[in-house]
Amino acid sequence: MNNKLHTTKYVISDLISATTAWTLFYIYRKTFIESKIFGDFPLVFDNNYYIGVFAIPILWLFAYYITGYYRDIYRKSRLIELWQTFTLSVIGVLIIFFILILDDLINTYKDYYMSLFYLFTLHFFLTYIPRVIITSLTVRRIRNRKIGFSTLLVGSNGEALQTYMEFENQKKSIGNKFVGFINIYDNKNEELEKYIPQLGKFDELDTIIKEQEIEEVIIAIESSEEQEVNRILNKLQRTNVIIKVVPSMFDIVTGIADISALYGLPLIKIPNHLMTAVQENIKRFFDVAASLSAIIVLLPVYIGTAIAVKLSSKGPIIYAQERIGKNGKPFKIYKFRSMYVGAEKSGPSLSSDGDNRITKVGLFMRKTRLDEIPQFFNVLFGTMSLVGPRPERQFYIDQIVEKAPYYLKLQKVKPGITSWGQVKYGYAENVDEMVERLKYDIVYLQNMSLYADFKILIYTVKTVLQGTGK
């Protein structure tokens, strides 16, 4: 399905609605409110109107984006959409009223209430009605199986077949279009193959998801195989798919299964986002603003550090190295070079106390984290965040995963310049220390929030100023 095209429909609708609402409100103010004070006069669209009709719709779109309205654009609930549109309309109209309308000349205070009511009514209904029409048409197409989400079934034998049949036998589809299945034991499921193809082996799961453009994965295994769920989930950590698990009867009775979709099967949905849309967007906005500010303010530090690196030893000032980022995608991380050229000519090797590969300037930079400041450009490029688990090289990730498979959970978020593990533990000198540091980053993921980010940033600044970094 074309997410960009569908999102554009909502954006254009919201833009037209906001423009129309403000235009009608302007006419109402001039015709019914100001005429009581100044008398009848020809309606004129002055500069205030043109400024408002340009700026206000843009601000509405920004508010919708920040609150996550345009996320998961095909999976909208009309009741939730009604509530979102209503609450944001109330908040937005109140802000507009107090900033732009409160100082207007009025005949009586009743005019204020009428203006507020009229603006809200116009904006809410003109916004919600087109939205619900688009959403309803989309829901109808999904229910009638005209469009759907490319879905992969992961399981074994009987449970997988039963799950597939239950989905296909529903009168109204919930949107899953099965493109194939994978058996967790790599053996054949001849009964299920009568309906959908077996796409490959379990070890090829992430490759199959990418090649088949899978949007959802449904895990359906026997009750005696529940220990396999963690193995499957670990395998899916590098993907950005929606993950659902067919629950046991115990899960249903205890309320763990998600039954929000009345037409669908009860399923346990594994959260795909660790932060709300509002927090994610604010985090990105803060990342960009803070990185730009840091680059400008620290320009003398950049220049001074670059000169020091150049004088310390022969070689480039900036060191670029491939690391693994969100969803397992490789990227180039930038640092001020802190080691002599050829430090890893014998292969990847972590630094340690007394490491003679580190220059004297490099040792100081590591203690004060100055070697990390070029990564503000990584943040601007969108490959990193200010706060997030430290990115590692694939060479070390392979070794870490052997000891701690849950490491791949860290790849659900963007890596960061600093992290809770970096603050509490510092640089790791071997794989065992990487595993030891991992527990701090897992704690961060479980408590991920803007508050946690600010707390980590404060501790990082403290480390830099005290020069106590490891």
Residue 286 in tokens: 């803060």
pLDDT at 336: 94
Determine phi and psi for 152, rounding to 5 degrees: -110, 130
Report helix angle 277-297 to 450-466, nearest 10: 20
- Looking only at the bridges linking them, the beta strands covering 242-245 and 268-270 are antiparallel
What CA–CA distance (Å, rounded) separates 317 from 334?
10
Can you say whether the dihedral through the CA atoms of 369, 335, 338, 313 is positive or negative?
negative
pLDDT at 352: 66
| Nearest Cα residue to 238 out of 332, 326, 331 | 326
Each as own residue / partner, the long-range contacts of residues 63-69 (CB below 8 Å, 24 or more positions apart, any chain) are 63/88, 63/92, 64/14, 64/88, 65/281, 66/277, 66/278, 66/281, 66/282, 67/277, 67/278, 68/276, 68/277, 68/278, 68/280, 68/281, 69/10
pLDDT at 107: 64
**Per-residue pLDDT for the chain (470 aa), expressed as one digit of tens each?**
788 899 999 999 999 999 999 999 999 888 877 666 666 667 778 888 898 899 999 999 999 999 999 988 998 889 999 999 999 999 999 999 888 776 666 667 677 788 889 999 999 999 999 999 999 999 999 999 899 999 999 987 788 888 889 888 888 888 899 999 998 887 777 788 889 999 988 888 988 999 999 999 999 887 667 677 778 888 888 788 999 888 764 455 445 555 555 455 778 888 777 888 899 999 999 999 999 999 999 999 999 999 999 998 889 999 999 999 998 899 999 999 988 888 777 667 677 667 788 898 988 888 888 898 999 999 999 999 999 999 999 999 999 988 988 888 898 899 999 999 888 887 787 888 899 999 999 999 888 999 999 999 998 888 777 766 55
pLDDT at 255: 55
What CA–CA distance (Å, rounded) separates 117 from 95?
13
What CA–CA distance (Å, rounded) separates 63 from 127?
13
- Looking only at the bridges linking them, the beta strands covering 318-324 and 268-270 are unpaired
Burial 392-426 (b: 16+ CB within 10 A, else e): beeebbebbeeebebbbbbbbbbbbbbbbbbbebb
List the domain boundaries for the chain.
3-143, 149-270, 277-466
Beta bridge partners of 258: 267
CATH class belonging to 149-270: alpha beta
From residue 313, give the alpha-carbon distance in Å to each of 320, 352, 369.
17, 20, 19
Residue 341 in tokens: 């050229």
What CA–CA distance (Å, rounded) separates 369 from 362?
10
Maximum C-alpha span of the chain: 88
pLDDT at 249: 47
What CA–CA distance (Å, rounded) separates 391 from 375?
12
